[in-house]
Amino acid sequence: MKIEVLNAAYGNTDTPIARLDARTIFVWYLFYALFPWLTHSWIVLAGMFLMLTATIYLARVSYLLLFLFIMGIIGQGGMVLAVSLFFGGNFETIMPILMFETKLAIISLAGLIAFSTMEPEKLSDGLLKIGVPGQVSFSISYGYRMLPTLIEEYNHVFMSFRLRGKAPEKHGLFYWRSAVYFMKLIVKSFYPLMLSSAKRARTTVESLESRGSLVSFNNKEVKKVKLAHMKFTYKDILFAIFNILYVLMLFMLAIALN
Amino acid sequence: MSQLKKRYTLTEQQKMMVFILSMSLFGMATMVSELLPELKVGIVEFKVEYFLFIPLSLAILFHPLHAAVGAALGRIIFGEIMLGKFEALGEIESFLALVLSLYVAGIIVRDPSNRFMVGLASILAVIIDQFISMGVDIGKVWIGVEELETIPGLYESVVAVEGFAFLNDVIVSGTLFAMIPTMYLVPKLYGKIEPLLGMKPKTKDLQIPFSDIITPRFMVGAVIVAVVAFLAEALSESDFAPSFEWAYAAENEFLFTIISLIVAALVSILIIWRVMSKRENAETAR
């Protein structure tokens, strides 16, 4: 589980999608995230869905994430459906719900493709380029750097609590005693962690300060040097033309078949 | 005897410390809570939504705005980007809701050693946050489904599901994982954690004015967001796409010709892509 999570965090680099410029991907995502709300046409939605499925194959999204995504969509849709049948709905309710779920699916698939396969540095550079404050991209790199340390430390605290403490002798009905015990430990383990992270935050800021990073976060010159490597290539152009033509084709199909 | 209320000010470095502390801690906590198992009994779901007590304690003990922004960002970075489920636009509302609720909680508590106020502020924060996310979810269905009124039972069912989730989150996550731990942690941390960041503990006579957050820029932003939301909704009502007028004028056969041309173009783009990337690979291999 831990390994799979870390795998998902550090994406893959050599897929056709990953070679595009971050800005191209942002625009592409923006279209797929906003447009489904503006249409009620089955043909357009289905076409977009097909396109995304093909892109998933190209981008090699991790199987764990796909599985979680599918389970989530089925679970949510099924629940709304069941409750609406209970409230006196009939099978005519299914089509609108299905369309709604397709819209949600398109949006989250686009998010999966765009961001789950993007490397963290690329994401933070891209965000910096489109004008997000430097603190955000610093936080992303800091998060990736600190995550293993923090998890390790939390694990240590948790384990030492377990070593020193006394687990309940009986599990109780449905293991409720053990559940309460573990929940308490989970919460309590954060207390030492808070103090040590406070110390660490102070060290971090001190070292940032000694390098003048607090000033350079939003300095234009620094940004220019840092982001000089980002440029559009023929791939971005081809990708853009392909997508625009495809969507145009969908509109025309929708009109022609209606 | 009336005391002059001093404004609670921090230096740039101290703000950054609070920000980093809140971000890394709440981010880590989000990851832990994502990995916790959930218990489902029918549609009743006992799930730990989040460990809100961490940013709550920090917002109460330090400057609420920086702790709140840090926590919301930490949740996105650790809980979404790292787990690969970042949805750029969908995060905006949860980000704002979390910032708002934590900020309100941090402002309410003047004296961190007053347990009653701490508890009240923390449950209030959960209610604000969950209420906003419930409203957004219901609104999504309202916009995304056409002719909602004509479908029997759908609207009620959505409200029922979302309302139930709201109550469930407020009761389970709100009391067990926000109120009780915050009431336990804040008095314990008060006066201990501040020296580690090199600042004085917050006392009663320090005041954080609302004008720190509600600046003209903030208000303009809020108005723009509201207008965009309204426009998007209006567009969806009018069934705007894909009813371009010029397309109606065209004959069906003409349309099909264009479609086949586009398909040809799509295929040729794919071929160009393959050829060019092959050439590139060959060049790098050399």
Highest mean pLDDT, choosing among A96-100, A139-143, B147-151: A139-143
Question: Residue A127 pLDDT > 70, yes or no?
Answer: yes
Question: Residue B89 pLDDT > 50, yes or no?
Answer: yes
Examine the domain organization and report whether A147 and A114 are in the same domain: no
Flag the least confident range among B152-166, B178-192, B233-247. B233-247
User: What's residue A45's pLDDT?
Assistant: 83
Partner-chain contact B21 A249, CB within 8 Å:
no
Mutate to test the interface with B, among A45, A64, A135 (most CBs of B within 10 A): A135
User: What's residue B272's pLDDT?
Assistant: 78
Q: Classify each residue of B177-208 as buried b or exposed e, where b means 16 or more C-beta atoms within 10 Å of its C-beta.
A: bbbbbbbbbbeebbeebbebbebebbeeeeeb
Query: What are the pLDDT digits (tens) for B196-221?
Result: 887 777 776 666 655 555 566 666 77
- Predicted ipTM of the assembly: 0.71
B145 vs B117: which has the higher pLDDT:
B117
A6 is a domain residue:
no
Flag the least confident range among A96-110, A209-223, B66-80, B134-148. B134-148
Which pLDDT band, with edges at 50, 70 and 90, does B153 fall under? low
Examine the domain organization and report whether A114 and A138 are in the same domain: no
A154 is a domain residue:
yes
The number of helices, as runs of H, and strands, as runs of E, in chain B is: 11, 4
Closest Cβ opposite residue B154 in set A29, A84, A194: A84
Beta strands B44-46; B39-41: pairing state:
antiparallel
Listed in sequence order, the residues at least 6 apart from A149 whose beta carbon sits closer than 8 Å to its beta carbon are: none
The full 3-state SS of B21-85, as one line of letters, equals HHHHHHHHHHHHHHHCCCEEECCEEECCCCCCHHHHHHHHHCCHHHHHHHHHHHHHHHHHHCCCC
Examine the domain organization and report whether A151 and A65 are in the same domain: no
CATH 3.30.830.10 fits B6-208, yes or no: no
A28 is a domain residue:
yes
Question: Residue A10 pLDDT > 80, yes or no?
Answer: no
CB neighbours of residue B246 within 10 Å: 6
A252 is a domain residue:
yes
Examine the domain organization and report whether A138 and A106 are in the same domain: no
User: What's residue B241's pLDDT?
Assistant: 44
Distance from the B180 Cα atom to the nearest Cα atom in chain A, whole angstroms: 10
Q: What is the domain extent for residue A98? A: 13-118+233-257
Interface of A with B in 208-247 (CB under 8 A): 208-209, 214, 234-235, 238, 241-242, 245-246
Examine the domain organization and report whether A112 and A61 are in the same domain: yes
Q: Classify each residue of B120-135 as buried b or exposed e, where b means 16 or more C-beta atoms within 10 Å of its C-beta.
A: bbbbbbbbbbbebbbe
Highest mean pLDDT, choosing among A217-226, B43-52, B205-214, B244-253: A217-226
- Asked if omega into B242 is within 30° of 0 (cis), the reply is yes
Q: Classify each residue of A185-196 as buried b or exposed e, where b means 16 or more C-beta atoms within 10 Å of its C-beta.
A: bbbbbbbebbee
Flag the least confident range among A237-241, A245-249, B37-41, B93-97. B37-41
Chain A partners within 8 Å of B156 (Cβ): 84, 87
A202 is a domain residue:
yes
How many domains is chain A built from?
2
Flag the least confident range among A57-66, A161-170, A196-205. A57-66
> Which two three-digit tokens encode residue A190?
């954060």
Is A180 in CB contact (< 8 Å) with chain B? no
Examine the domain organization and report whether A29 and A74 are in the same domain: yes
Examine the domain organization and report whether A239 and A204 are in the same domain: no
Residue B39's DSSP bridge partners are B46
Contact status, residue B243 vs residue A229, Cβ threshold 8 Å = no
Examine the domain organization and report whether A32 and A88 are in the same domain: yes
Examine the domain organization and report whether A65 and A145 are in the same domain: no
**Mean pLDDT, residues A17-28 taken together:** 80
Examine the domain organization and report whether A114 and A238 are in the same domain: yes
Whole-number percent of chain B with pLDDT over 70: 66
Which pLDDT band, with edges at 50, 70 and 90, does A205 fall under? confident
**Mean pLDDT, residues B144-156 taken together:** 63
Contact status, residue B263 vs residue A249, Cβ threshold 8 Å = yes
User: What's residue A87's pLDDT?
Assistant: 66
Distance from the B17 Cα atom to the nearest Cα atom in chain A, whole angstroms: 5
A73 is a domain residue:
yes
**For residues B22 and B163, what is the distance between their CA atoms, to the nearest angstrom?**
30
Examine the domain organization and report whether A202 and A243 are in the same domain: no
A210 is a domain residue:
yes
A97 vs B114: which has the higher pLDDT:
B114
Examine the domain organization and report whether A192 and A245 are in the same domain: no
Question: Residue B6 pLDDT > 70, yes or no?
Answer: no
A124 is a domain residue:
no
User: Which sequence spans correspond to the domains of chain B?
Assistant: 6-208, 245-285
User: What's residue A160's pLDDT?
Assistant: 92
